[in-house]
Amino acid sequence: MSLSRRISRIVRANKAAVQPVEDPRVTAANAQRAQHAALDSARRGAADVAAHRRRLEILAGEAAARVRHFEAHAAAAVARGDDNAAREALRGQLGAAKHLQTLSGQLQEIDVQARRLAADVARLEERMSDSWLRHQALLAQHAAAEASARAQEALRSSAGPIGGGELAAREAEREVRRLQALAAAREELAWSDPSSQRVQEAFEELEADSAARLELARLKEQRARGSRPGQQ
């Protein structure tokens, strides 16, 4: 394989690798939106066909009324013996009947279209319902998978040599032991240094205790001699 072909394959592979993977929830939502649009379009088409059929129905009713009108006029003309008026009424009746036949054919055709559209709308509605159920199931499964992944990650973290909480507790214990050792060392150094505040305080306490003992002995001696306290 030539160097240029190898480079081209590497470039294509890198491009494919960096292509973002679409969230399946987004894909399902987009598909639902497309189905909603198709359903809305089918419903509008069915409504238009229904409105057109209604107009044809009205026109057919008017044509049938004209047929009856001319038929009545022809019968009346025949009864009067007016052949010309009868022929004129019959020509009008034939024209109205032809127009009614055309409208009836259009009504039959539009009825077929209306039934086909109604079936299409029903199928789309059924698909929309199934798609919505699948979408809800997908959302639930995705949420469960994310929760399971987070739980597994937490378990992996806690199952390591030292978990996060245990590590923090051990660090705190080590810090307490360090501070205790530091305090003990300082205490030991304070006693080993004659000039330290701790040693000076100890000497002062000993001196005060010695003075108190001497004063107590003096008071006891005075009491033994029967003298009042404070007198020599």
Q: CA torsion 70→74→77→78, rounded to 10°?
A: -170
- Predicted TM-score (pTM) of the model is 0.47
The mean pLDDT of 172-185, rounded to a whole number, is: 75
Residues 143, 176, single domain; the answer is no
Residues with Cβ within 8 Å of 93's Cβ and at least 6 positions away in sequence, in order, are: 67, 70, 71, 74
Q: Which of 132, 158, 184 is the last residue of a domain?
A: 158
Residues 128, 195, single domain; the answer is no
Q: Is the pLDDT of residue 76 over 80?
A: yes
What pLDDT digit, counting tens, does each position of 115-147 carry? 888 888 888 888 888 877 777 777 787 778 788
pLDDT given for residue 35 in this prediction: 79
Structural domain includes residue 39: yes
Structural domain includes residue 3: no
pLDDT given for residue 45 in this prediction: 85
Residues 208, 188, single domain; the answer is yes
Residues 42, 141, single domain; the answer is yes
What pLDDT digit, counting tens, does each position of 184-220 carry? 766 665 556 556 666 567 667 766 776 777 777 777 7
| Domains in the chain, number | 2
Structural domain includes residue 195: yes
The DSSP string of 30-75 is HHHHHHHHHHHHHHHHHHHHHHHHHHHHHHHHHHHHHHHHHHHHHH
Q: Is the pLDDT of residue 229 over 60?
A: no
The mean pLDDT of 61-76, rounded to a whole number, is: 93
